[in-house]
Structure 1
C-alpha cells in the first residue's frame, strides 16, 4: 500500500475509534430498544478498541484487522441504528476504510462458493419478500376504513420490520460481500456488482432515517380511532414500494449481468494480461531461442 494511502487509512481508523467511543456514550444514556442498545454498546466498544489496535499496529497485522472489523461492522451498524440513529454515519465510514485498505481475498473453492451463493440467494429472496409484505401492509393501513385494520396493519409492519426485515437485510449484505470478494466478480470490478452493492447499502440508510420516522409517526397517529394516515401514509407506502422496486432491480442485475468492467476492473484485467518481463540471459542464447534452436543443438561453424 502506498505511504499516502496507508497514512490516510490509519487516520480513518482513529476517526472511527472516536466515532465508536462517542456512540457508546450516547447509547449508555438511553433506555429504549434495550436489546439493540446492548448489542450496539458491545459492538462499538469492541470496534473502538480494535480500531486503536489496528492503527497502532498497522505495519504488522493492523490492516488485516481493519479489513475484518469493517467487513463485519458495515452491515451491523444498521442494526445498531435502531437504538441510536447516528450509527448510520458509521456505514459509509466503514466502507471508506475498506476501500482505502484495498482488501484482497483468495478465490473460494467451487463447493464453498455454492454454499455461500445459496445462502445469499436465499436471504436476498427473503429480503425481497419482506419488502413486498411491508409495502402491502403500508397500503392496507392507508386505505383501510376500519380503525382496527388500520392500527393492526401498522403494528404488524413494525414487528415485521424489527423481527424479519433487519436480519434479512444484514444477512443478505454480509453474504453478498463474501460472494463478491471470494469470486472472480469482486466488489468494484464490474458495474452491475457495484450497482447492486450501492442499492443494498442505500436501502438501510433510507430505511433508518425516512422510513422509520414515517412508521413511528403513523403508529402514534393511528392510536386515536379518528386518526387518519393521510399524506404520511402515502409517503410510507411510496418509500417501501421504492425499496421493492430497488430490490427487483438488484435481482434483474444478478441474472442479466449487464454493462462491463469498471475502471478498477479494467486496471486489474490489464495488469493480469501484461506479459511478464523476460529473464535476463546471454544474447547468443536468446537469439538461438528466437530462431527456434534450443541449447545444445547449435549448428557447428564450418
Structure 2
C-alpha cells in the first residue's frame, strides 16, 4: 500500500496496535489525497463473485480510519488473476464501496499547486498504472494458463504491444514534474521473487529512456528502495501489507539496495513541486527509511 499526499507535516511519534490503524494515523498526519494498492488485492485467489465476503473482510471492514475514506487506485496482481478479474475492474465493487477503483492500465494526473494558486497549474505529477501479470511467461504455461482469468486480454502479444506503446506514448508526451509508473510485479528486487526478467527486458528500457522518477510495485512481500548506478529510476517495493518475513538477499553493491525490510509495513509519499518524499513505515507506522527527490 502507498499513501499519497501533497502536504508535508512535522514528524510525530506513532505507536499503534494494527497496520490498518497505523495507515490511518499516518494518513491523517499527511492529510492524504488518495491511496494506491499495488495488486494482489484479495488473497489467495482473487474474488469469486460479487458477493464474495473477501471484499468486505479484506477491504471495506479493514480500512475504516477517517483518513482512509478517500479514493483507492488499484492494479491487478497475479493472485487477482486467479479469481474474477472482470469483477475487480468493473463498477460493481465501486457501488459497494465508492472508494474502490481498479483497471488494467490507466493514467492519473494530480496537480501540485496549492489552494491559493489561481489560473492554470503547471506543476503536476502523473501516475502511469500498468498491468504486469500478462508479461510473465510462466503464467501462460500449459500448467498455469487455465487457472488464470485471461478474459478481456485477447491475443497476448497484441495486448502487450498495445500496453507498451501506450506507456511509451504517454511518457513521451508528458510534461509532468514527476513521472511515476505503478505495477504489481518487480523490476529490480532482492526479495524472494527477485527481478521480473520480462519486465526488465520490455518495460525498463522505456522507463529509463523517458526519465521516469520512480517505479512502484508489490509482488515481493517486503519494503525495498533500490537505486542502481546504471539506472536513473528509483525502484520502490511496497508489498508488505500481507505476507512478509520471506527473506531478502544480501546482494552485491551493484544491485543498488538502499534499504530493505522483511517485515510488514507500507509507504507514504509527500508530493510538492520541487520535492517528493517517500517514507517507509513498519506495521505500527514507525519510520524506517526516507527517500527525498528534488527537481
Please indicate the TM-score interval, normalised by the length of the shorter structure.
Answer: under 0.3
More strand by share: 2
More helix by proportion, 1 or 2? 1
**Relative contact order (alpha carbons < 8 A, sep ≥ 6): 1 or 2 greater?**
2
